[in-house]
Chains A and B, each alone.
Chain A
Amino acid sequence: MVRTKIAIAGEGGQGVQSIAKILVEAGYEAGKHVMYIPNFGVEQRGGVSIAFCQISDEPIGEPRYSKADIVIMLSDRALDRCETYVDENTTIVYDTSVCTRAPECSGKRVIGVDANKIANEDLSARVFNIIILGVLLEATKVLDIDDVKNAMELALGKKFNAKPELRELNYKALEVGMQLIKEKAGV
């Protein structure tokens, strides 16, 4: 695949921009061409927050795109805001344990995951976004898990070194996310 266009959207505070940064850092370290634009309002929490990412084997022209290859929607408002980035080639992933309804638009495929529920019940609410990163990784297959782990080390290494169990928790979250998609793909 030459260029993968990824949009991740949720509420401010859900960690959308954090995982986008890890994702593109991983792409950069892997020697790919990468582009990331955050899009958010003036609020620290509570506005819709969108991350536009691109990972490509060739130099990237447009910084923003009309239609994404994969759109991750993590709240009801994100469902509404992101319809515009969906066409018949788009994979849609949404969180069934946050959104109160399914996306109305139809892409190539629509996948519901309950990452928020799993985070709260089995892991920690704080790694909700890392589960989503795992989902994204497995759904796009543009990057290696090791590249992502290295990028996580760059972003969170200090915290990990202070509390090594956090590293394990985040790795676990990443794997849980990847597994979620594998299960869906098997259905």
Chain B
Amino acid sequence: MVNKLIKEDTKMFLTGNEVLAYAANAAEAEFMYGYPITPQNEIMHTWCKLLPKTGAGFLQTEDEISAGFSTLGGILAGKRAFTATAGPGNVIMQDAMSMAEMMRIPFVCAVMQRGGPSTATVIYAQQETRLTCYGGNGEGFRIVYSTAGHQDLFDYMIKAFNTAWTYRFPTYVLADGYQGKMREPVNMYDPASRGITMVPTEASLLPDGEIGKDRKSMHWRNTYNMEEELMEVLDEYKVDFEALEDKIAEYEEYKADDAEILVIAHGIVARSARTAIDELREKGIKAGLFRPITLRPLARKPLKEAVNRAKQILFTESADGQMAQMILEAIYGCTTPYSTLYKMGVGVTGGDIVAKVEAMAKQPATV
């Protein structure tokens, strides 16, 4: 058991990476495995700086392949372990993440997106959206929370541990280099003070007790001999995963009720959209926001309703339509025309969105 540092409500002025380390501690995480990559390094730095006080553990592995699999090993052995990565690190960690999907291991990972493809920039992007949701050689049985600032980072990092340990699907806090590096105030708290009970950590391998007497034997499979054997298992996983939508899918709407132009954005871009919507409303343009918080699973019903209510849709993201592609599939059948504002690896400002929506108000989208 680790020592929790946040015992009472504490307001601090921190970078997002620091917030994530504190949040993992608040969620009773016991061990972090990781390999350095900008812009997530300070999660590791902060976690390590706090070790003398928390009594938790840390291992810097030789690369992200190892960091991912070590995290799985730690979890199987009964530790509440997690990792964090970004960019090319997220790419090479996909093998371990797929294993977490296959073996239903409660893997928790913070992804601080940077520019891609490949090394690209160390700064910021939303170009790991598809990778984080659907990477690996599987079906994307993953839970992905897309955060929009420091309070989200704290709240959803805590939630990610409970979601992962409850449903046993790999769970992600999908943020970005801006959120990792930027400084803004955050209110930190002990989850218990908010009525949040942390789901207990249990060993998957070698739990206590004698086989046949105190407990059943265990067989954790990652390999199947027959095609049908595999499909039988995955069919069950699919049922489990699809049942999650009603239980855990989250979204946020901002002035979306009467919006004629509905902006759909996730993560930090959604926050720029809020600034833009206030400005547009002042100018008499009825704009609103739909922000999916869970990208996997998407809250499809409210999404469709919001899309059907609007006269036009604007997809905007710091990627070339990675989120939009997922949304378009989810709203198949809706006929509301849409336009796009994509900036690959570059932040979308409120000003960008205002200009685009004003143009749409004058010349409506036809797609």
Q: Check if A128 is an interface residue, CB within 8 A of chain B.
A: no
Interface range on chain A (Cβ under 8 Å from partner) = 20 to 34
Interface residue stretch chosen among B72-80, B188-196, B344-352:
B344-352
A25 CA to B274 CA in the complex, in Å?
Answer: 25
Which B94-126 residues have a C-beta within 8 angstroms of A?
121-123
Q: A42-B122, A61-B278 are in contact. Are A67 and B351 (CB under 8 A)?
A: yes
- Tell me, rounded to whole Å, the shortest Cβ–Cβ distance linking B294 to chain A: 22
CA of A72 to CA of B320 in the docked complex: distance in angstroms? Answer: 32
CB distance from A169 to the nearest CB of B (A): 26
B182 / chain A contacts, CB cutoff of 8 Å:
35-38, 63
Which residues in A have their C-beta under 8 angstroms from that of B178? Answer: 37, 63-64
| Interface size of B as a range | 20 to 34
A28 and B13 within 8 A (CB): yes
In the assembled complex, B185 has its CB within 8 A of some CB on chain A? yes
The interface bits of chain A over 28-64 (1 if a CB of B lies within 8 angstroms of the residue's CB, else 0) are 1000011111111110000000000000000011111
Which residues from A are CB-within-8-Å of B121? Answer: 41
| B214-254 with Cβ < 8 A to chain A | none
Distance, CA A36 to CA B121, complexed state (A)? 19
- Per-position 1/0 for B178-218, Cβ under 8 A of A: 10011111000000000000000000000000000000000
- Pairwise interchain contact A25-B351, C-beta atoms closer than 8 A: no
How near does chain A come to B3, taking the closest CB pair, in angstroms? 26
Contacts of A24 in B (CB 8 A): 13, 183
Taking the closest CB of chain A, its distance from the CB of B10, in whole angstroms, is 14
Q: Give B38's nearest chain A residue, CB to CB.
A: A42
- Determine how close the nearest CB of chain A comes to the CB of B11; give it in whole angstroms: 10
Q: Choose among B123, B268, B351 the residue that contacts A63 (Cβ–Cβ < 8 A).
A: B268
Instruction: Please pick, from B13, B181, B272, B347, the residue contacting A61 in the complex, using a CB distance under 8 A.
Output: B272
Cβ–Cβ contact B274 & A35, under 8 A: no
A21 touches B349 (CB 8 A): no
Chain B residues near A100 (CB-CB < 8 A): none
- Interface assignment of B137: CB less than 8 Å from any CB of chain A: no
Smallest distance from the beta carbon of B283 to chain A beta carbons, Å? 16
Closest Cβ neighbor of A87 among chain B residues: B351
* Min C-beta distance of A83 to chain B, whole Å: 15
**Bound Cα distance A34, B11 (Å):** 14
B142 within 8 A of partner (CB): no
Interface status of B60 (Cβ within 8 A of chain A): no
Min Cβ gap B47→A in Å is 21
A88–B122 Cα distance when bound, in Å, is 32
Q: Are A61 and B184 in contact (CB under 8 A)?
A: no
Residue of B nearest to A52 (CB): B182
CB distance from B253 to the nearest CB of A (A): 15
Q: Could you tell me the distance between the alpha carbons of A33 and B149 in the complex, rounded to whole angstroms? A: 14
- Which residues on the B side are within 8 Å of A64 (C-beta)? 178, 272, 347, 349
Q: Which of A25, A37, A63 contacts B271 (CB 8 A)?
A: A63
**Would you give 16 A-B contacts (Cβ < 8 Å), ordered by A?**
A21-B183, A34-B183, A34-B185, A36-B182, A37-B181, A61-B272, A61-B274, A62-B271, A62-B272, A62-B276, A63-B149, A63-B271, A63-B347, A64-B178, A65-B349, A65-B350
Chain B positions within 8 Å of A, measured between CB atoms, are 13, 38, 121-123, 149, 178, 181-185, 268, 271-272, 274-276, 278, 347, 349-352
- Please name 14 further chain A to chain B contacts, defined as beta carbons within 8 Å, in addition to the given A34-B183, A36-B183, A42-B122, sorted by A numbering: A21-B183, A24-B183, A25-B13, A40-B123, A41-B121, A60-B184, A61-B271, A61-B274, A61-B278, A62-B272, A63-B178, A64-B272, A66-B350, A67-B351
The 7 A-B pairs at the shortest CB distance, nearest first, are namely: A66-B351, A61-B275, A62-B272, A64-B347, A62-B350, A62-B275, A37-B182
